[in-house]
Chains A and B, each alone.
Chain A
Amino acid sequence: MRFAIKVLAIISLLTCGGTQGVTQASNDGPLQIEINEGIIQLFPIAAPQFIAESASASKWAKDITDLILSNLDRTGLFEIVPENSHIGKITNFDSPIQFSDWKAINVDVLLTGSVSLSSDGNLVVKFRLHDVFAQSSLGQGVQYRGQVNNWRRLAHKISDEVYSRITGEGKYFDTRIAFISEFGPKTDRAKRLTIMDYDGANVRYLTDGDDLVLAPRFSPDGDELIYTSYQTGKPSVYRLNLRNGQSNRVLQTPDMTFSPRFSPDGKRVIFSRTTKGNTDIFETNLTTKESRRVTRNRAIDTAPSYSPDGTKITFESDRSGSPQIYTMSLNDGKISRISFRNGNYGTPVWSPRGDFIAFTKQLGSIFHVGVMLADGTEERLLSRSFLDEGPTWAPNGRVLLFFREEPGESGGPSLYSVDVTGRNLKKLKTPNFASDPSWSPLR
């Protein structure tokens, strides 16, 4: 837990506004974490290629080790100490570690593992995490078993354990991203519902592109998507079961319905509904099919999102004259505006941890994705460009995805990830233009 507490301290410090030149001396060990000019000291980790217990397992041992290192590297928190600088060699998963070999090359944490193929053809992967300075194990060793074609998920599971044990943060690698793939000219885009692993692997198109589709959102169990489709000619909210591919319209009405999200218990859906040109927020109970009005206002009320405990919502409204962010208690109906700085605000979405609300902000000709506390204080902008929009949270509430659209006739959207601290902005690889990301819960 020594490591966990320290890296958590890094994140907390950055959370408080990028304090410059802070040095946090460590009293209980040789580990020192420094924050200089907003750059944190990366955490040195070594992971020699996992031991292949048989010749047939060697390909998997390499691929799994590489993917774990790639995952850790993408967090922007680790320094991967390359194998060619290792002094010690791991030849047997069960042999004692020569900690001095790793201390000599300034490694703080060592990850070792082994891969074998069981008699029924499944992959069996074991790993251990070692604290080099304490010369002890960092948590218990774990063994995973899975089908060969699920090797990426095995690597993501181990990455999650490693990341979580060292940082003290929740897991997020073994997840998926639902989004919209975009094809064709800007004036006549075809859009397809798409799903892929968090790291861009295993892309699958879920609709054929005949109907305009928008903004998929995962159910809390990850087995369903809720989204908007123009299948009937007008935007309507649909539910898609990812296990059997069945899609159903949530509410039968001639009104436009759009921007849906599931409640945290998965039993309700909140969305926008337009009646005679006026858009308000409604909620449908998926069990009883009963629908109720949540807001009643002549202004536009849209983009609702629940708090993690399901007792409040946050939404976007122009009731003040420009689009701003509000929260509302579902118990007593009390509404409070929380965005007060210059600019237009939209697409508020509550962090799964409940601490922050992420949003889109338009200030002059620039769009930002940012976060603020649920009372509107401590606003922090994480990105800026011609058009940044639509943040979604990783299940650990520490990383966000959004889409960035390049301007002009040939411009289009791409997915980006960024830490809640504003560090580590990265573009995700997708086969086509991509927008409207939604991060799944942990699988």
Chain B
Amino acid sequence: MRLLRVMSVIVCVLLVAGCGENTVTRGNTVSNAGGSGSSDDRFTGMDDGVIETDSEFAYFSKEYFNYEIGDRVFFALNESALSEDAKDILTEQADWLLRNPDSTVIIEGHADERGTREYNLALGARRSEAVRTFLLQQGVGAVRMSTVSFGKERPFAACSDETCWSKNRRVVTQIEETTGS
């Protein structure tokens, strides 16, 4: 039965690893448990699919910022007010930025496709400013932040219903590549 338990761990790790590039496995290093009990052919080769976690995204990496904290916050229709969820994410973003004092960010505002081009450019600008102001209040220096609006020019999701539109009404905090890190 020990073998089965090891197998189930492996299956779990495989499942987790299979959940997409953005998923990070944390601390569940699996070593070969060395099960050698059964000679049943059905189990031959089943115990060598071992996966080791090489490393987690380092806290200071761009990947940690983008995927663990989250690089984006979302907005209600025609709104630029920050939701409580958005404020939580932005608080963590600010914390990260304060610990990475050399990094600079471009704050990109976006809108869904249900509005005119000109209005959406202005709406995206209003949203990016709401994020900039919040990060500023958290202590991130103004010189480290710039804003830009893409209006409806760069949707993240391409379908034409609310499931996509809600993903497109967003502000993305882009970490610029910093030299020397």
Which residues in A have some Cβ–Cβ distance to B below 8 Å? 185-189, 212, 214-215, 233-235, 256, 258-259, 272, 274, 276-279, 300, 302-303, 316, 318, 322-323, 344, 346-347, 360, 362, 386-387, 389-390, 405, 407-409, 411, 436
Contact = CB atoms under 8 A, between A and B. Distances in A.
B148 A316 contact: no
Interface string B88-115: 0000000000000000001000000111
Contacts of B128: 277
Interface stretch (B3-11, B20-28, B153-161): B153-161
Interface of B: 78, 80, 106, 113-119, 121-123, 125-126, 128-130, 132-133, 147-150, 153-160
A277 B126 contact: yes
Contacts of B149: 235, 256, 274
6 contacts: A272-B121, A300-B119, A302-B118, A302-B119, A346-B119, A409-B159
B121 A259 contact: yes
A409 B158 contact: yes
Given A233-B148, A389-B116, A187 B123 contact: no
A183 to B, nearest CB: 13
Nearest to B148: A234
Given A274-B125, A274-B149, A277-B130, A362 B160 contact: no
B115 A189 contact: no
B122 A411 contact: no
A346 B148 contact: no
Instruction: Point out which of A214, A277, A302, A386 has the most chain B C-beta atoms below 10 A from its C-beta.
Output: A277
A212 B166 CA distance: 23
Contacts of A318: 78, 119
Instruction: Point out which of B80, B114, B115, B117 has the most chain A C-beta atoms below 10 A from its C-beta.
Output: B117
Contacts of A436: 117
B113 A256 contact: no
B114 A258 contact: no
Q: Which A-B residue pairs are the 6 nearest by beta carbons? A: A277-B129, A407-B160, A346-B116, A279-B122, A409-B158, A303-B118
Given A186-B155, A362-B114, A408-B158, A274 B122 contact: yes
A302 B113 contact: no
Contact of B153 (A212, A234, A259, A360): A212
Given A235-B121, A256-B121, A279-B122, A387 B113 contact: yes
B147 to A, nearest CB: 7
Nearest to A212: B153
Nearest to A274: B125
Nearest to B121: A258
B106 to A, nearest CB: 8
Given A234-B148, A407-B160, A278 B126 contact: yes
A399 B113 CA distance: 26
B159 A408 contact: yes
A386 B160 contact: yes
B153 A189 contact: yes
Contacts of B156: 187
Contacts of B117: 214-215, 259, 347, 389-390, 436
A432 B148 CA distance: 28
B132 A277 contact: yes
B157 A303 contact: no
Contacts of B154: 187-189
A233 B158 CA distance: 23
A152 to B, nearest CB: 31
A326 B113 CA distance: 23
Contacts of A235: 121, 148-149
Contact of A185 (B125, B150, B158): B158
B160 A411 contact: yes
A189 B152 CA distance: 11
Contacts of B115: 323, 344, 346, 362
A272 B158 contact: no
Contacts of B158: 185-187, 408-409
